[in-house]
Every structure is written in C-alpha cells, then in structure tokens.
Amino acid sequence: MSGPRTVICLLRNDLRLFDNELFHWAQRNADHIVPLYCFDPRHYMGTYHYNLPKTGPFRLRFLLESIKDLRNTLLNKGSNLIVRRGKPEEVVASLIKQLGSVSTVAFHEEVTSEELDVEKRVKDVCAQMKVNVHTCWGSTLYHRDDLPFHHISRLPDVYTQFRKAVESQCRVRPVFPPPEHLKPLPQGLEEGTILTAEDLEQKEPVADPRSAFPCSGGESQALARLKHYFWDTDAVAVYKETRNGLIGVDYSTKFSPWLALGCISPRYIYHQIKQYESERTANQSTYWVIFELLWRDYFRFVAVKYGTKLFQVNGLQDKSVSWRKDMKLFNAWKEGKTGVPFVDANMRELATTGFMSNRGRQNVASFLTKDLGLDWRMGAEWFEYLLVDHDVCSNYGNWLYSAGIGNDPRENRKFNMIKQGLDYDNNGEYVRLWVPELQRIMGADVHTPWTLSSAMLSHAHVSLGETYPTPIVIAPEWSRHFNKKMTDLSRVPLLALNMGFRKKLGLYLNPRNAVAADWMALAEAMGFTYLEIKNYESAGNPTVKVLEDWQARSTDATVGKLLSILSEVERNDVLEDLQPMIDEDVRRYCERSNRDPEPPLQVNQVDSCFHRTLDRVGLTLYDDPEGTPELFHAFICYCQSDFGFVQEMIRELEQTDFKLKLCVFDRDVLPGSCVWTITSELIEKRCKRMVVVISDEYLDSEACDFQTKFALSLSPGARNKRLIPVKYKSMSKPFPSILRFLTLCDYTRPCTQAWFWKRLAKALSLP
C-alpha cells in the first residue's frame, strides 16, 4: 500500500490563496500540501549589464509584508508557509530527501530567462529523484491556451491587433475559489524564519508622507485596496479621467505592486469589474482598467514570443542604435538632478518612495533614451532596482517601447518634456512637491527656470548651477513652449486652427486604420451619434467636416479640448507631428486677440468723403481712439445658421497667405449702437467689397433685404465696391432677382471648389 501523497507548491510570484490554481489542484491530488517560498540569493545580486542591485528596499519591504500576510492566511486555513533561504532547486531537493513521500512539485510557469532557468533546474532535480512536476498558467487575464493565434509565434507585434483579437475571440476564465481548509503539512516540518531587510543586507526604507503609494504588501491588503477603489469610493468610475494624475493615492488603481507579486490575480480584478458594471455603472473608465490589464498580458506574451531579445540591446526589432554609456548623465538622471524639473520630480519620487506614475515613467524613459541617448538598459535596470511594482515583462517591454525598438508601430516616438509638464502639471504643484528648491517659483514657470530673469530667480531664492542644476540638455522642440506656458488652450476657440491644420489632420485620421484611432473615434469622443458619424462617411474630408460641425454646435469646441480628445483616443503621434502647426495657429490667434492698436489697412478705394468725427469712430474692435477708423477688404453678410461657413471663410482668407481683412459683425463690431446705422456705415465707408453668403435662411432674414438693397443703392461712385454673392450649400428658394445678374461664387459645384478661395480672394483684393 502506497504512503501519503505530499505535494510541494513552490510559490514565487503567486503569493495568494484566492484564484490560485496550485492550491486548487493540490487539494484534489495530495494528502499533504507544503506551501514553499524560497529567498533565492540570485534575486539580491547585481543586475546583468550594469551591476545595479536587483531588488531594492521598497520592493523588498513589500515582498516581506506579502510573505507574512500569506503565512497568516495559510495558518487560518490549517496550514503554514514554509520559508527557506536558498536556491529553489537546492531547497526542493533537500525537502524531497527530508520528507520521503513527495509525489509532485507544482509551480506556476514564468516566462523570462532567469525564471525559466530555475524551472529547468527544479525539473531536472525532480527527474533525478523520480518526482512528478505539475505546472499551471495563472499570471495573465487570458489563459495562454485560449489565445486565438494557434502558436505564440503568430502573436501580433502591435498591441491594438492583439487586443481586438482576444476581446472578440476569447473569454476570461472563472476564478478558483479559496479552499475552506488546506490539506495539512507533514508532521515535524519546521516553518522557517521570514528574513528581514537586514538579513539581506538592505536598509529599511523610511516612509514619506508625500508618497502616492503608502500601501502594504499582501493578499489581504490587495483585496482591501480593490474594495476601497471599486466599492467604497467608486473611484473606478472616473479612472479614465484621473489616470494621468501625479499626486495622491486614488488617481489610479495602484494594483500593480500586488499584481507583480501575484497577491491578486488579473482575473479576479476583471470579474470584480464586471460585477461593478452590472450593479453600479459601466463606462469608459471601467473598461479602461481592463484595457490596462490587457497591456500587462500583452507584454507577458511578447516575452514568451521573443525570449531573451527582451533584454538585448537591439531589442525585438534587432535595431542597431548607437547608445551612449555616459555615467555622469546617468547619475544626474537617476538622482533627479538633470535641471529639467518635470524629469527631476519624477525621479526623486521614485528614489524616495519606490513609485512613479505611468505618465512619469513614459517621460523619464523618453528623456533618458531620446534626449540623452543613453543605453535603455541603464534605465530598465534602475527601475528594476527601485520600483515597488517591478514586473520584468512590463518593465523591459515598456523600456523597449520607449527606446523605439519594441512593440510600437509609430516611428521616432519622443516626449516633449516641457509640453508634458505643462499638460499634466500645469500649475507646477507636482514639481514643487518633489523639487522643494523650486517651490518659490509660482505657476507653470517652474517647468523652465532657466528661461526666467535673474530678478525672478533671485526673488525665488534660486541660483542655477548652485541651488538647482542648469539643464544637462535642452531639446530644440522645447523652445516653442517657453513663451506659451500661460496660454490656456481650453480658452482658445477651435476657430484658431486654420484650414491648413485641419486638412493635415485629415491626412492622419481619414484613412480607416486597424492600428490607431481614426476620425470616427474623434467624432464619437466629441459626442456625435452613430447615424451622424455614418453620414460623414460620404464627405470628401470627414475630419474637416466633423471639426466644422463640432465647432458650430458645441461651446466646448476649443483647441485644448481637441488636444485632450486626441490624447484620449491615443493619437499622441498626431499631437507631436502637428504641434508646430497648432502652436503657430494659436500664436497668430493670440496676437490678433491681444495686439495693440495698429496702423489702419491701406484701402485705396474707400470713399474719400469720409469725415473722422467722433460719432464715426469706435464702431469696431480695433478702431484707433485718436480717430483713425478700422478699414476692411469686405463686409460679410450672413445669418447665424451660416456662421460655420463664415468661420471657414475667416480661416481661408485671413489666416493664410491671402492675409485679407474681413468685417464680420459678430466678431468685429462693438455693442451699443443701432444695427442698421453701423451696418450702413461699415458697408459705405469702411469696406471695399461686400460678400453676401446666400442661403435659404439668409433670404428669410431681415438683414438680407436691408443689406443687399443698401449696397445696390449706393451712389454711382460707391457702387464699384461690388457686391459678391457666395453660395455654399444647396438651396430650395429661388435666387433673389436683385442678385440674379451678378457673377456668383459657387462653392457647391465640385468642379469649381479647387479654385473657389483663390478666385474669391482675388476679387476682394482688386483695387
């Protein structure tokens, strides 16, 4: 008769009882279960390339807390956690000899080289000692066997393709419930002492009240965090809006440290989200948590596909880059002394707390690889040392992505440190929190202290090169943000972006794209309905049409909101490429809005009998208070429903090389005078031409009858001003008889659209 079956459950990055297949399997296949954790000395050696400490103080503290928590959980289930110091293959061999009745060693499979090497050594020991090996897959949301790619070599090299495939073709497996009681340990087995930081030659880190992650390790803490974030505060319902935060605990889920050690499973988080969606609300935020879990899955499966390429200097693409190995630059980066405040703040937060936001990680990685040109592995190994949530696949996968040699379909992705600082820390609160030597510099100026005057720096008690470093690098593209730090783009109307930008944006968004979001995603984010979006498919340039209609219907249509939407639909590549055009359009708009009174436009054919009396000045926005009137190339007649086309007219005729000056009543005329008096004054005395935007709505308006008849009734000397009718959309009403014999500028005819604006501009420019 055979003896009792004993199963050793070798635990590594699966320090939990809930949804742990090892325990579920062992319960059914063993008489005794030995939960085992080994303090592998190889985890506390130097990193492979730059000999940085592999496990730092923050992750070690979190690990020790997680081990203690698991021991308490197992004790409550009638078991215990056996702890040993040594290499797993040696500890397992020793236990097999000691117990004599071990039938199986079970463990979760890992995916990267060092972990796989341990697994091979354990399997070899078991084979020699005639002990079975059982493995499980439990680190991802979707099980490896459920992937729709048949073989891992067919895993897509673009995340979006992977995401769409698994979302449409796979299901998330149910979780394994925790056992009520675990099978007992064999008699006489010593539990072993949980090591301390001192035992592992580490210092206990000091807690910092500024930390965005003041949490403890362990499964019980992970479950409490999920309960807090989902059920107690409903913070998950706004995750998508807050996830790019920098200060505080609840701007993001903070699940990553527990996921990294397996204190909680991605499947459990997923099913809790589905329950939350069923009981409370389902929105973009709840989905976005799953979206991020899928990124984690993707990096793990990429590691399976590419193996050791994950750690090689040329990356997944086998792309040769001349990386630098300048230790002086590297030390400035890792110590937060680059002289670039947004970078320094993030690096100091990491060094002080072991945590950094996802936004910060992307930026400091881009800075190290793209601005400093340093070997990306220096940054990856520094993160491996310090991050409390270090996950080898996510960390190295993200660094490859930032370095441009990983899974990124877009070439030359580079973050602009100044723009990023202004976008995500506009008032500089985060920088001042972590770079206290700059705390007297107010507002957004804190992002670029080297651009401030000596007097401003002195007032803030800052001496560059002494109390705070001068920048170790200044990228050329930063300069366009130095002088617009205080520009609130949420207050700049979409009107500021001219047709050149809109058409260029269409080149990016009009093509239907399986990799990146297109114009449909933009329209959906702007609030257009499904039917409206379908109608835009027939437009020659749907992106331009969407922008026009959004501008016409929404008070929220600003440059800032557009940039926010593009970022939301993950088209930061568009933002980076088109940023110079955006900056120039905004600059020109702000100049026009804030300019001082300027010399009047020289218009030769304005009626010379005009007298500059006080009752005839101060009618328009830029009239000279000394009595010089503001003059225009044309007065634009329109009704409110046609204002969208008038805005396009402004963009095409004023904001391009034509540089014409139009009189648009709603924009240029000051309030407080009789409409008809001002209109007649402007048409007769201030404008060379008169453009009438003809539509059914305009023909029904009072303005039509007055304006057109007034223009045609001018004295013969003024009649050469010419009234120019413009038709921009189809009409059901007959053309007015008084305009029927005038030459028409017709925008509705496709054959003439190509030269429509040039033809109109020429007519308005004639003497």
Query: Which H helix or E strand runs over 664?
Result: strand 662-664
Instruction: Render 580-646 in DSSP notation, one character per residue.
Output: HHHHHHHHHHHHHHHPPP-PPP--TTS-TT----GGGSS-BTT--TTSPPP-EEEEEE--GGGHHHH
Structure tokens at 76: 């409550």
Structure tokens at 493: 């109307």
Q: What angle do CA 244, 249, 252 make, to 5 degrees?
A: 35
How far apart are alpha carbons 109 and 152 in whole angstroms? 15
End-to-end CA distance of the chain: 113
- Known binder of ligand: residue 301? no
Give residues with Cβ within 8 angstroms of 77, minimum separation 6: 17, 178, 179, 180, 181, 182
| Exposure on the CB side of residue 592, measured as CA atoms within 13 A | 16
How far apart are alpha carbons 725 and 707 in whole angstroms? 12
Which amino acid, residue 152? I
- Three-class secondary structure of residue 579 per DSSP: helix
- Known binder of ligand: residue 666? no
The residue written with tokens 């008849």 in the block is 709
Residue 691 to residues 88, 228, 501, 646, Cα–Cα distance (Å): 84, 62, 25, 10
Structure tokens at 10: 């070798």
Give residues with Cβ within 8 angstroms of 453, minimum separation 6: none
Query: Which H helix or E strand runs over 480?
Result: helix 479-482
- Known binder of ligand: residue 252? yes
How far apart are alpha carbons 475 and 473 in whole angstroms? 6
Maximum Cα–Cα distance across the chain: 123
The closest alpha carbon to 324, from 275, 375, 282, 290, belongs to: 375
Q: In what order do the strands lie in the sheet with 82-85?
A: 82-85, 32-39, 6-11, 102-108, 132-136
Print burial letters for 140-172: b (CB count within 10 Å at least 16), e (below 16).
Answer: bbbeeeebeeeeeeebbebbbebbeebeeeeeb
- Known binder of ligand: residue 256? yes
- Three-class secondary structure of residue 693 per DSSP: strand
| Exposure on the CB side of residue 320, measured as CA atoms within 13 A | 0
How far apart are alpha carbons 683 and 724 in whole angstroms? 13
The closest alpha carbon to 573, from 516, 525, 494, belongs to: 516
Residue 732 to residues 425, 693, 695, 724, 735, Cα–Cα distance (Å): 53, 15, 9, 20, 9
Structure tokens at 250: 């609840």
Structural contact between residues 345 and 353, judged by C-beta atoms closer than 8 angstroms: no
Residue 685 to residues 421, 528, 611, 666, Cα–Cα distance (Å): 50, 44, 10, 19
- Known binder of ligand: residue 408? no
- Known binder of ligand: residue 389? yes
How far apart are alpha carbons 211 and 233 in whole angstroms? 20
- Number of Cβ within 10 Å of residue 576's Cβ equals 17
Print burial letters for 192-209: b (CB count within 10 Å at least 16), e (below 16).
Answer: bebbeeeebebeebeeee
- Number of Cβ within 10 Å of residue 72's Cβ equals 15
Give residues with Cβ within 8 angstroms of 470, minimum separation 6: 339, 450, 464
How far apart are alpha carbons 205 and 60 in whole angstroms? 10
The binding site for FAD consists of 239, 252-256, 389-391
Q: Which residues belong to the annotated binding site?
A: 239, 252-256, 389-391
